[in-house]
């Protein structure tokens, strides 16, 4: 009988975006791969896709049904491993898996960035930390993706095994630098002038991603760099508000709202600089993709940005409210093309050496192999 793993998250797009290489690896090992999440997206490397009535809101009544659905799936399929992702998916998956741990099932959870962290509001600590503290007692493997969360988990939580991996990995072939001539050609194919100075950020429009900061900074940048353009990819609740802000500041012609895009690698190759404004990050894939493409990144300080970006070496970090300092760094890098090229080279090297898909795949498969051996040992003893 084939071994079986269940991947659980709030929405199915999470797996398309971040976990297909690991699902493919399980298939190559002869395992049966199941996915449980909201959404009707087709996912490769998946034997069974189970749609859940799950919501991002922890107080949604649909989550009660999702919990019952997960328990039913676990009873029916008798999984060897359960790997939970996203906050609500992580809670429901681990709660549903509690009874099955006694039968040898191993339950893993990846924390993609705790809501409680240094500098987080007190309310985040009052609400989210107690939940994670309790859930850590029913977690066989707690996977963290940055040093701060790893240290916090080791000192304050109680999972059986706590490890750190370097994110979800970046495809350094898909995300790769191009020559300056190729970049100019790509700019033209995207509808820009060859000498336009393109800044790029891809993220959902919400309070945490903080695109308003970028638009405010851009209104100052454009006075010094008339050919600058700010490209903002993504959708979300605050998109309309951000469009209104760009019009209010008189930069609406040069702040381009690109919507949801599936050609991010090509867009990045046409750009000159990455920017990032989010208030909270675990280990942001969008920043790693920009760095892998050879773009220096100017970003505000947070846990994830601090881990990736070294000021003066791979980009620059500024305080979260320092519009002037942020824009000044971009103006400087526009003038100093040689420095910009060096920072981009260093950024690419850092991703290739530490955060590449090949390296992270090795880290995660080593983790999985350890739990595979434990499930086999349990079965042998149970006989």
Q: What is the pLDDT of residues 5-16, one digit of tens each?
A: 999 999 999 999
pTM over 0.75: yes
Percent above pLDDT 70 for the chain: 98
- What architecture is the 4-166+357-382 domain classified under in CATH? 3-Layer(aba) Sandwich (3.40)
Q: Is 4-166+357-382's fold the same as 180-355's? A: yes
According to the model, what pLDDT value does residue 58 have?
Answer: 78
pLDDT band at 56 (very low <50, low <70, confident <90, very high): confident
The closest alpha carbon to 227, from 261, 273, 181, belongs to 273
Give 269-326 pLDDT, tens digit per residue: 999 999 999 999 999 999 999 999 999 999 999 999 999 999 999 999 999 999 999 9
Q: Which element (helix H / strand E) includes 246?
A: helix 239-248
User: Contact, 102 vs 84, CB < 8 A?
Assistant: no
d(CA 18, CA 168): 6
Long-range contacts of 159-164, Cβ-Cβ distance < 8 Å, separation of 24 or more:
159/109, 161/370, 163/367
Q: DSSP letter at 137?
A: G
* Secondary structure class of 169 (helix, strand, coil): coil
Domains of the chain by residue range: 4-166+357-382, 180-355
**Phi and psi angles of residue 5, each rounded to the nearest 5 degrees, phi first:** -125, 140
Quote the mean pLDDT of the chain.
95
According to the model, what pLDDT value does residue 120 have?
Answer: 80
| Overall CATH class of domain 180-355 | alpha beta
pLDDT band at 117 (very low <50, low <70, confident <90, very high): confident
Judged on CB neighbours under 10 Å (0-12, 13-18, 19+), 349 is middle
Query: What value does the mean pLDDT take over residues 174-181?
Result: 96
pLDDT band at 62 (very low <50, low <70, confident <90, very high): confident
pLDDT band at 21 (very low <50, low <70, confident <90, very high): very high
According to the model, what pLDDT value does residue 118 have?
Answer: 82
The closest alpha carbon to 45, from 31, 65, 60, belongs to 31
According to the model, what pLDDT value does residue 378 have?
Answer: 56
**Phi and psi angles of residue 53, each rounded to the nearest 5 degrees, phi first:** -90, 60
């Amino acid at each position: 009988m084939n071994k079986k793993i269940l991947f659980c998250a709030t929405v199915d797009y999470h797996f398309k975006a971040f976990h297909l290489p690991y699902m493919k690896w399980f298939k190559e090992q002869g395992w049966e791969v199941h996915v449980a999440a909201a959404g009707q997206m087709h996912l490769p490397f998946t034997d069974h896709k189970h749609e859940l009535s799950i919501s991002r809101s922890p107080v949604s009544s649909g989550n009660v049904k999702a919990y019952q659905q997960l328990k039913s799936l676990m009873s029916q399929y008798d999984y060897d491993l359960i790997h939970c992702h996203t906050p609500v998916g992580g809670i429901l998956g681990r709660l549903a898996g509690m009874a099955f741990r006694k039968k040898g099932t191993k339950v893993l959870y990846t924390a993609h960035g705790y809501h409680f962290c240094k500098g987080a509001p007190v309310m985040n600590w009052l609400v989210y930390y107690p939940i994670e503290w309790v859930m850590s007692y029913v977690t066989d493997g707690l996977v963290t993706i940055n040093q701060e969360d790893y240290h916090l988990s080791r000192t304050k939580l109680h999972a059986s095994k706590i490890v750190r991996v370097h994110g979800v990995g970046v495809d350094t072939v898909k995300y790769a630098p191009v020559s300056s001539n190729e970049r100019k050609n790509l700019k033209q194919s995207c509808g820009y002038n060859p000498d336009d100075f393109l800044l790029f950020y891809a993220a959902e429009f919400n309070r945490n991603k903080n695109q308003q900061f970028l638009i405010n900074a851009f209104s100052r940048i454009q006075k010094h760099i008339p050919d600058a353009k700010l490209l903002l990819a993504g959708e979300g609740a605050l998109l309309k508000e951000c469009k209104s802000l760009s019009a209010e500041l008189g930069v609406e012609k040069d702040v381009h709202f690109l919507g949801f895009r599936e050609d991010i690698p090509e867009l990045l190759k046409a750009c000159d600089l990455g920017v990032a404004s989010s208030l909270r990050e675990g280990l942001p894939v969008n920043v790693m993709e920009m760095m892998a493409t050879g773009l220096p990144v100017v970003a505000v300080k947070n846990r994830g940005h601090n881990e990736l970006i070294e000021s003066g070496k791979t980009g620059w970090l500024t305080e979260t409210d320092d519009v002037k300092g942020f824009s000044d760094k971009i103006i400087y890098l526009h003038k100093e093309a040689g420095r910009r090229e060096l920072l981009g080279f260093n950024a690419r090297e850092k991703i290739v050496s530490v955060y590449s898909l090949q390296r992270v795949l090795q880290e995660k498969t080593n983790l999985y192999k350890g739990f595979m051996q434990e499930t086999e040992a349990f079965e042998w003893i149970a006989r």
